[in-house]
Each structure stands twice: as C-alpha cells, then as structure tokens.
Amino acid sequence: MPDCYCGSFLSFEKCCEPYLKNLKLATTAETLMRSRYSAFATGAADYLVSTTHSSQRKFHTKAAILEWSKSNHWIKLEVLAKTETNVTFKAYYLDSELKEQIHHEHSTFVFENKSWFYVDGEFFQ
C-alpha cells in the first residue's frame, strides 16, 4: 500500500481518504491542511470548497480549484511549522509544462461549528 499523498506513513485509506469522503472531521488545522493537499492531489474539489471558510468561498470557485488541482502533478508535501491555527508548508508539484514548482504558504485556519476551515494564506517565493 503506498503512503498517503500528504506524506504520512499511513495508507491513503487510513489517512486522508476518510476526510475527503466526509467520514471523519479533521481535529487539527494540520490534519485539515494535509487532507486538503491530498484533495488537490486527487481532484477532490468539493472537499476543497467545503473546507474553505464561508467568508472566502467566493474567491475559490469549484471550477478554478479543479483546474488548479488537475493541471498540476502533485509530488509531495512538507509541513515546515505549525501552531494551533497556522501551518507553514511547501507543496512540490510539476506544472502543466512539467516544470518543478514549489508552492510555499503560511496558511491560517479557523475552528467553527466543530470543524476546521481554511481561511487564507500568505505566499512566499
């Protein structure tokens, strides 16, 4: 069984898949962030929309998320730092021209109605 997309040493079935299928709720910001990376890797756009905070959804349409998810090939995730509400990470991917890219972000999450949501991020070059 290959390791989960998010880089844990668990299988996808035991790690992020239950979140993507709405069978489990992420209990920490980091878990949500990891599951969202796996959602990008597998094109789970509905999950990405539903875990984006309601105040931000207008900036992230499902079509745009799906396009971004599918036009890149997601290689790996590296979580660099985390607090209760923030996660800093690097997502490695190949873009549509198969060039290696690194998406480096400091994300903010909020806990509301028993769920964690992605609010926004600060991006680094």
Which residues contact Zn ion (rule: CB under 5 A)? 4, 6, 8, 15-16
Q: Which is nearer to Zn ion, 11 or 71 (CB)?
A: 11
Give min distance, CB of 55 to Zn ion, in A. 26
Spatial distance between the Cα atoms of 34 and 32, rounded to a whole number of angstroms = 5
Q: Which is nearer to Zn ion, 79 or 98 (CB)?
A: 79
Give min distance, CB of 4 to Zn ion, in A. 3
Q: Which is nearer to Zn ion, 65 or 77 (CB)?
A: 77
Give min distance, CB of 31 to Zn ion, in A. 8
* Strand, helix or coil for residue 25: coil
Task: State residue 123 phi and psi, 5-degree precision.
Answer: -110, 140
Which of the 8 DSSP states describes residue 52? Answer: B
Give min distance, CB of 15 to Zn ion, in A. 3
Alpha helices in 1-125 (DSSP H): 17-20, 29-42, 45-50, 62-71
Q: Which is nearer to Zn ion, 2 or 58 (CB)?
A: 2
Torsion of CA 78, 19, 44, 86, to 10 degrees: -40
